[in-house]
Amino acid sequence: MRDKALSILKNPLVGGSSVVFLGTFAANIINYIFNLLMGRLLSISDYGLLVSLNSLFVLISIFSVSFVNLFTKFSAKYYSSDNAAGARKLNCIWNSFYFYLCFGSFCNFAFSHSCFFQLFLKSKITIISC
């Protein structure tokens, strides 16, 4: 039984999927603890601002996640059908796009953590305390 379980875990699909599953599970636990602590430490209006900022950044990141999923889908299709020309063309597109994706992520991070942005957003979002 133990040998069968080890042979299943040595499969690259199962091993990689288990790493992704465990990483996602750990990230969700950390996220839960973070939200629990922030709910206790922040006031109602500050926690509302934190949740609003988090929602805004999730909405902004939808575009980059969709592009990564799109490139993953087509690269899997090209590599499974041994289409080297299509894979090479996709890699060239990805390399040029990757710079803009990294630059956009950096600008998003820098802009979101700047005091100006936080003050601007705090003046635009009105959260009334009970």
Per-residue pLDDT tens digits of the chain, which is 130 residues long: 778 777 777 777 777 788 888 998 999 999 899 889 888 988 888 888 888 878 877 777 777 777 777 777 877 887 788 877 877 787 777 777 766 667 767 766 666 666 566 666 666 666 565 4
Asked whether the whole model's pTM tops 0.85, one would answer no
pLDDT tens figures, 40-68: 988 888 888 888 878 877 777 777 777 77
Give the domain extent around 93.
43-130
CA distance linking residue 103 with residue 99, whole number of Å: 6
Cα distances (angstroms) measured from residue 22 to each of 6, 13, 28, 49, 65: 17, 14, 10, 30, 20
Same domain, residue pair 37 and 68: no
Q: Give pLDDT, residue 30.
A: 93
Concatenated DSSP letters of 89-110 = HHHHHHHHHHHHHHHHHHHHHH
Domain count, the chain: 2
Are 103 and 63 in contact by the 8 Å Cβ rule? The answer is no
Our measurement of the distance from residue 31's CA atom to the centroid of its chain's CA atoms, rounded to an integer in Å, reads 13
Which DSSP state fits 57? H
Same domain, residue pair 47 and 76: yes
